[in-house]
């Protein structure tokens, strides 16, 4: 949590330093114009991409399909809009990377791979990726495998009996 707060405090500081350094080279009027122009153009792009993404969501749900990628695109567009409204050139660059479909696609794949799937997998105990039982069958609710006793993969279980061929012949008393 402290890292997130540190990054959130560091971003405006870097933005201010960049704007001050650039304003010494090209003038502050041009820098202000550039920041306002990138925010305006970025918001127009976010609006257009948002409408297109909403249309794709509606089409997929009408066909009965899950619009997972489109919903993730919508979340990335929301983040993009926040970046584009934040004054600064670095945040505008990040916002444009998220709003353009060609660059948003690999970012979406990375977010799915490293954020969404591990989170959902942890919450569902492996059901999302299919890794429900990675070490054999689960034991019956006990904690034997945690304490080092009989359990999956330990080789011996308290419920296992060795039987020979005659053990399956049941003598019920009738002949």
Any domain includes 23: yes
pLDDT tens-place string over residues 122-161: 888 878 777 776 555 555 554 444 444 444 444 555 566 6
Q: What's the 3-state SS for 104-122?
A: HHHHHHHHHHHHHHHHHHH
- What is the domain extent for residue 48? 11-123
What does the block give as tokens for 39? 């925010």
CB 87 within 8 A of CB 39: yes
Any domain includes 139: no
Rounded CA-CA distance 37/25 in Å is 19
pLDDT tens-place string over residues 61-110: 999 999 999 999 999 999 999 999 888 899 999 999 999 999 999 999 99
pLDDT tens-place string over residues 29-63: 999 999 999 999 999 999 999 999 999 999 999 99
Any domain includes 133: no
Helices 89-99, 2-26: axis angle to 10 degrees equals 110
pLDDT at 145: 44
Residue 132 CB coordination number (10 Å): 12
> Cβ neighbours of residue 78 under 8 Å, at least 6 residues apart?
none
Any domain includes 78: yes
What backbone torsions phi and psi does residue 50 show, to the nearest 5 degrees? -65, -40
**Mean pLDDT across the stretch 3-19?**
88
Q: What is the pTM of this model?
A: 0.69
Res. 168 pLDDT band, cuts 50 70 90: low
Any domain includes 105: yes
Q: How many domains does the chain have?
A: 1
Rounded CA-CA distance 101/71 in Å is 14
Give the E-state strand segments of the chain in sequence order: none
Any domain includes 65: yes
Any domain includes 35: yes
Any domain includes 150: no
Burial of residue 95 (CB within 10 Å: 0-12, 13-18, 19+) is: buried
């Amino acid at each position: 949590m402290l890292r997130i707060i540190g990054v959130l405090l560091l971003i405006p500081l870097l933005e201010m330093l960049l704007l001050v350094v650039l304003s010494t080279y090209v003038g502050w009027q041009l820098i202000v114009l550039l920041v306002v122009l990138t925010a305006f153009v970025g918001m127009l792009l976010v609006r257009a991409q948002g409408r297109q993404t909403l249309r794709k969501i509606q089409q997929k749900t009408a066909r009965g399909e899950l619009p997972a990628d489109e919903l993730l695109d919508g979340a990335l567009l929301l983040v993009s809009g926040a970046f584009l409204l934040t004054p600064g050139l670095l945040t505008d660059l990040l916002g444009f990377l998220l709003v353009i479909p060609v660059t948003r696609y690999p970012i979406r794949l990375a977010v799915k791979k490293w954020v969404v799937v591990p989170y959902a997998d942890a919450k569902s105990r492996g059901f999302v990726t299919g890794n429900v039982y990675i070490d054999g069958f689960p034991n019956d609710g006990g904690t034997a495998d945690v304490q080092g006793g009989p359990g999956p993969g330990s080789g011996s279980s308290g419920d296992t009996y060795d039987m020979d061929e005659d053990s399956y012949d049941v003598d019920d008393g009738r002949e």
